[in-house]
Structure 1
Amino acid sequence: MSTDLIYTDKLHAGSSFPDIAVNLFSGEKVQLGKPSNGADWQLVIVYRGRHCPLCSKYLNQLANFKDQLLATGVDLIAVSGDSQAQLESHLTQLSVNFPFAYGLTVAQMKSLGLYISDPRSEQETDHPFAEPGLFVVNAQGIIQVIDISNNPFVRPELQALVNGLAWVRNPDNNYPIRGMKR
């Protein structure tokens, strides 16, 4: 194993969310971090792709929280580096009720500060893919919450995330963006 230092540029809470356009499964182009459905915040979930059963499980669980998130003003979108055909195949394995985008490029993955992996084999997938990332972008386009991982085993517990976002969104709590010191 190499002992060379590896440097990465990670996004930080309180920074502007990058300008990233992606295609929804329908072919419509959307900007990540720009909420819809009457919400003013957006939860952006980056998942590894069709080849990841842990991603499928997490996304199916997340579907159970869509209405609760929307009730607190948080829209939801998921995106991966998969192709449209790979996403189409993946959607047959999912029971989800929120938009999915495809075609996240390596350059876009890097702009999000994500960890990026190469496939172990052609059976896994045919392209480099992002490891999991979660971004909550507030109404000003600022990253309110960020969680990135270098593997699919570490992700925020969804009920705690949804409860926390409801608490943060409550104006009585006056809760600031956390983790601003560098």
Structure 2
Amino acid sequence: MNIEYTKKLHAGSDFPAIKARLLPAIKAKLLNGDIKTLSTPENGLDWKMVVVYRGQHCPLCTRYLNQLEGAKDLLAQTGVDLIAVSGDSKEQLESHMERLGVSFPIAYGLTVEQMEELGLYISEPRSPEETDHPFAEPGLFVVNSEGKVHVADISNNPFVRPELQSLISGLGWIRNPANNYPIRGMHK
């Protein structure tokens, strides 16, 4: 068995600036051509949730993204903005959007190098019918107002993802100043 070192994004570290494929100064690109910085909150909110999903080929990702749509207002009430991203091509995301009922931003074109920078598990497609490129397994990062990773969840398969109601409830508790809750998991 060949075990290799995996670089993981540590809690409390700066969320890296992710540059989109072929666009050296750009962070992530949406279908409408808008350019988004994955970790920068918008819509008057001060935290950002970045959800990395496997791609259009994954029915569990489609279901999770649709569940996120139902949770985005609760996230916003907690002060957390939302974006999703995958390694899919523009054409694959266009096709996927036909099956999605979401209104939050979804970016495309995450490269293998960017997946590695985020410390994600990366899989090869099982067949050309699945997809045509290596893809990230699920990851979820909540970036605080200082650009630090406050919450990180990565998985090596599509069956393990944070349950959204518990996550949102926990984020509300973390964000309550009375709780003075620090970033966890920073012991070196």
Tell me the TM-score range normalised by the shorter chain.
over 0.9
1:39 matched to 2:20? The reply is: no
Which residue of structure 1 lines up, in the alignment, with residue 115 of structure 2?
Answer: 109
Which of residues 110, 121, 126 in structure 1 aligns to 2:127? Answer: 121
Aligned 1:17-36 pairs, distance under 5 A: 17-20=15-18, 21-36=27-42
1:9 matched to 2:15? The reply is: no
Q: Which runs of 5+ in 2 are unaligned?
A: 19-26
Query: TM-score if structure 2 supplies the norm length?
Result: 0.94
Residue 16 of structure 1 aligns with an amino acid whose one-letter code is: D
Residue 173 of structure 2 aligns with an amino acid whose one-letter code is: W
Which of residues 144, 149, 152 in structure 1 aligns to 2:155? Answer: 149
Which residue of structure 1 lines up, in the alignment, with residue 80 of structure 2?
Answer: 74
* Number of residues of Structure 1 aligned to a counterpart in Structure 2: 180
Q: Deviations over 1:129-161 (max 9, x none)?
A: 000000000011000000000000001101000
Aligned-pair CA distance for 1:176: 0.5
Q: Deviations over 1:86-133 (max 9, x none)?
A: 001101111112100000011110100000011011100011100000
1:57 matched to 2:76? The reply is: no
Matched residue SS, 2:51: strand
Q: Percent identity?
A: 67
Whole-angstrom distance in 2 between the partners of 1:126 and 1:5: 25
Query: TM-score if structure 1 supplies the norm length?
Result: 0.97
Q: After TM superposition, which residue ranges in structure 1, 4 or more long, deviate above 4 angstroms?
A: none
Q: Deviations over 1:36-68 (max 9, x none)?
A: 011110000000000000000011011111111
Aligned-pair CA distance for 1:30: 1.2
When the two chains are superposed, the root-mean-square deviation of aligned CA atoms in Å is 0.7
Q: Which runs of 5+ in 1 are unaligned?
A: none
